[in-house]
Amino acid sequence: MNKEIYGNLIFELSNQNRKGYKLPKNDFPDEDVIPEKLRREKEPQLPQVDEPTVVRHYTNMSTNNFGVDTGFYPLGSCTMKYNPKINEQIASDDSILSAHPYQPDSTVQGNLELYFNLQRFLSEIGGMAEFTLNPYAGAHGELTGLMIIKAYHESNGDTKRNKVVVPDSAHGTNPASAAVAGFDVVEVKSLPDGTIDVESLKAVLDDSVAAVMMTNPNTLGIFEKNIPQISEIVHESGALLYYDGANLNPLLGVARPGDMGFDVMHINLHKTFSTPHGGGGPGSGPVGVRKGLEKFLPYPKVVRKTDGSFSIMTDDKESMGSISPTLGNFDVQVKALTYILSLGKEGLKEAGSLATLNANYIKEKLKEYYLLPIEGVCKHEFVFDGLKDKSTGVTTLNIAKRLLDMGYHAPTIYFPLLFHESLMIEPTETESKETIDQFIEAMKKIAKEATENPEIVKSAPHHTPVTRPDDTEAALHPVVTWNDLKQQNNNV
């Protein structure tokens, strides 16, 4: 731990009897309230600090992290959209914060109405008949969708469909979800233009395939223009077509997966609908189905009764079952609904188009310096295959690290796996032209440095609190609690 940068740990700032509060003496006989066996034996060892010290400590720590509130965050495939502050304000309302998932229906009618309305809006946006908002993330939505597909085939007595087909450009969660749902995964190659090879797809479609999972635009930011034909051959084979909605952003208000022939889809509210997801959550992965598949959706379900009131239905014979004990991450749902209502139909359409424009602008400005493996118009994101001139040995990892020195979060690197030096950029619609131009200049500067002074790029970052941590070690053995090393040594 580098003290000069991080400062002291809060425990090291502790001073005997220093306090940030003053309470009157407790005259409540707590012995009578808490039974002896439930009381702690020893006072907890908490840091003793005054209020300004605590505030400064945590404020300083927060600025050691990069976030979308501190700078441009062009992470591809993740849609790191700016989270408007009004979302937080609405989601922090006491009626939302203090609601309990098991409160009687009659006491949370307003909240159930929000759930119901968001489900209707998503159905309209996706071109689906009905949505469930219960899954907690995109991957959880994929699992839900595949379980719905399984329930559908089983209801037809069609039990030998044990395969799920995914293109080689798919996000890793697609094959993983298929495996968790009990299917065998079949991979289909992409063509040089980045779209799925329809002939190869045809070759694997038979009566053992339950579903084909597609992302459109795909993870290269390319629109799968053969989707009508794909939909036709998939349905002819008796399989269903699943839409991974992580890339829905550029299509908002312009095109709908339901109209393209998709039967089941998920949406990542924490991507397309602007709720924050740095650090892994909380997320929300609603799943929508086309007409005829509604009965397989999971419970609990929110239903509107004939008198206009709402209730939670907790059982349903034909349903795939339950994927979560409650109605999902309600605070994330509220933020998404706030975003949809504040933008409106026209605003959503504008967001998708602007995201696409921004991505194409960056791509065209930088393709002279970075290798663009797939030419042409992209949607909301695109992929470079590292530098055009790789002779000095500067890699995509080096470029990503050097961007941190210049105040930008790195784009997604080494994904998709189709290229060796993938660098995947997604600017979103919320960035100004000035920010985007500054980013383009930074990328050009790095390309220039890579030729003239490659060492400075290879040894980057030079200005961040941590330089190059051991990613594997950090993931395998994270240190998440404070340990008093002195005390530990004494105990040995």
Question: Smallest gap, in angstroms, from Cβ of residue 384 to ligand PLP?
Answer: 18
Based on CB atoms, which residue is closest to ligand PLP, 53 or 412? 412
Based on CB atoms, which residue is closest to ligand PLP, 386 or 416? 416
Distance CA(352)–CA(380), nearest Å, equals: 8
Based on CB atoms, which residue is closest to ligand PLP, 115 or 136? 136
Question: Smallest gap, in angstroms, from Cβ of residue 76 to ligand PLP?
Answer: 8
Question: Smallest gap, in angstroms, from Cβ of residue 419 to ligand PLP?
Answer: 16
Reference 436, options 337, 348, 349, 362; nearest CA is 362
Reference 6, options 63, 61, 66, 70; nearest CA is 61
Based on CB atoms, which residue is closest to ligand PLP, 262 or 369? 262
Based on CB atoms, which residue is closest to ligand PLP, 275 or 358? 275
Question: Smallest gap, in angstroms, from Cβ of residue 57 to ligand PLP?
Answer: 31
Structure tokens, 249: 């952003």
Distance CA(130)–CA(123), nearest Å, equals: 6
The C-alpha angle 421, 475, 281, rounded to 5 degrees, equals 90
Based on CB atoms, which residue is closest to ligand PLP, 246 or 336? 246
The C-alpha angle 141, 117, 339, rounded to 5 degrees, equals 75
Distance CA(73)–CA(410), nearest Å, equals: 7
Give, as ranges, the residues between 163 and 202 that touch ligand PLP (CB under 6 A): 171, 173
Q: List Cβ neighbours of 200 (8 Å cut-off, separation of 6 or more).
A: 188, 189
Helices 330-366/433-452 angle, 10° precision = 50
Question: Smallest gap, in angstroms, from Cβ of residue 100 to ligand PLP?
Answer: 25
468: left (phi over 0), alpha (psi -120 to 50) or beta: beta
Question: Smallest gap, in angstroms, from Cβ of residue 170 to ligand PLP?
Answer: 7
> Which of 268, 329, 333, 338 is close enough to bind ligand PLP by CB under 6 A?
268
Based on CB atoms, which residue is closest to ligand PLP, 152 or 242? 242
- By CB under 6 A, residue 275 contacts ligand PLP: no
Total residues contacting ligand PLP (rule CB under 6 A)? Answer: 15
Cα–Cα distances (Å) from 422 to 170, 210, 389, 417, in that order, read 14, 31, 15, 7
Question: Smallest gap, in angstroms, from Cβ of residue 118 to ligand PLP?
Answer: 17
- SS3 at position 10: coil
Pairing relation of β-strands 382-385 and 422-425?
A: antiparallel
- H or E segment to which residue 423 belongs: strand 422-425
Reference 143, options 164, 122, 168; nearest CA is 164
Give, as ranges, the residues between 283 and 342 that touch ligand PLP (CB under 6 A): 283, 285
Question: Smallest gap, in angstroms, from Cβ of residue 14 to ligand PLP?
Answer: 38
Cβ atoms within 10 Å of 109's Cβ, excluding its own: 12
Question: Smallest gap, in angstroms, from Cβ of residue 471 to ligand PLP?
Answer: 18
Based on CB atoms, which residue is closest to ligand PLP, 134 or 219? 219
Q: Are 70 and 404 in contact (CB under 8 A)?
A: no
- SS3 at position 105: helix
Reference 267, options 429, 144, 413, 116; nearest CA is 144
Based on CB atoms, which residue is closest to ligand PLP, 219 or 358? 219
DSSP codes, 154-184: HHTT-----EEEEETTS-THHHHHHHHTTPE
Based on CB atoms, which residue is closest to ligand PLP, 219 or 430? 219
Give, as ranges, the residues between 206 and 265 that touch ligand PLP (CB under 6 A): 215, 219, 244, 246-247
Based on CB atoms, which residue is closest to ligand PLP, 112 or 424? 424
Based on CB atoms, which residue is closest to ligand PLP, 214 or 293? 214
Question: Smallest gap, in angstroms, from Cβ of residue 142 to ligand PLP?
Answer: 7
238: left (phi over 0), alpha (psi -120 to 50) or beta: left
Give, as ranges, the residues between 87 and 146 that touch ligand PLP (CB under 6 A): 137-139
Chain position whose Cβ is nearest to ligand PLP:
138
Question: Smallest gap, in angstroms, from Cβ of residue 219 to ligand PLP?
Answer: 5
Question: Smallest gap, in angstroms, from Cβ of residue 270 to ligand PLP?
Answer: 6
Cβ atoms within 10 Å of 81's Cβ, excluding its own: 25
Distance CA(234)–CA(214), nearest Å, equals: 11
Binding site for ligand PLP (CB under 6 A): 77-78, 137-139, 171, 173, 215, 219, 244, 246-247, 268, 283, 285
